[in-house]
Amino acid sequence: MAPAALGGAEVVATRRALLASVRQRDRSVAQLHATLTRVDGAPAIRLDASERIAGQLRRVTSMHVYVDGAEPVLDEYAPPGRFALVARSVFSPVRRSLTLVPLIPAGS
């Protein structure tokens, strides 16, 4: 499901479904929170959580962008004690630099 506009019924339903999917896939995910936002003008859902990756506790942010029927996802994670520093110096600049381009149909 790709929401048409932030704040609309579709994006709220998509956020609810995304949270349910994450919880069903990994019950160990903690502090799961979803925020409605935009990336390069496209509706997006930002998930923030604490989870274990390869056995190590990590703070994770996943940005799910809904554009042209697709859902590109940007995952960012770091040890909890270093997340703020890495977010400020790496993750935020990368997120701000994202530019969405139209999909090129296969075979074009």
Residue 98: name the closest of 74, 62, 71 by CA: 74
pTM of the model: 0.77
Residue 15: name the closest of 35, 30, 32, 40 by CA: 35
3-state secondary structure of 96: helix
What pLDDT, on the 0 to 100 scale, is given for residue 98?
Answer: 83
Residue 64: name the closest of 39, 30, 99 by CA: 39
* Superfamily covering domain 9-97: Mog1/PsbP, alpha/beta/alpha sandwich (3.40.1000.10)
Query: Does residue 58 contact residue 78 with C-beta atoms inside 8 Å?
Result: yes
What pLDDT, on the 0 to 100 scale, is given for residue 8?
Answer: 65
What pLDDT, on the 0 to 100 scale, is given for residue 33?
Answer: 86
Q: Average pLDDT per run of 10 along the chain, which is 108 residues long?
A: 53 81 82 85 89 90 87 92 93 87 74
Distance CA 78, CA 59 (A): 6
Sign for the CA dihedral angle at 95, 99, 104, 105 comes to: positive
What pLDDT, on the 0 to 100 scale, is given for residue 70?
Answer: 83
Extents of the domains making up the chain: 9-97
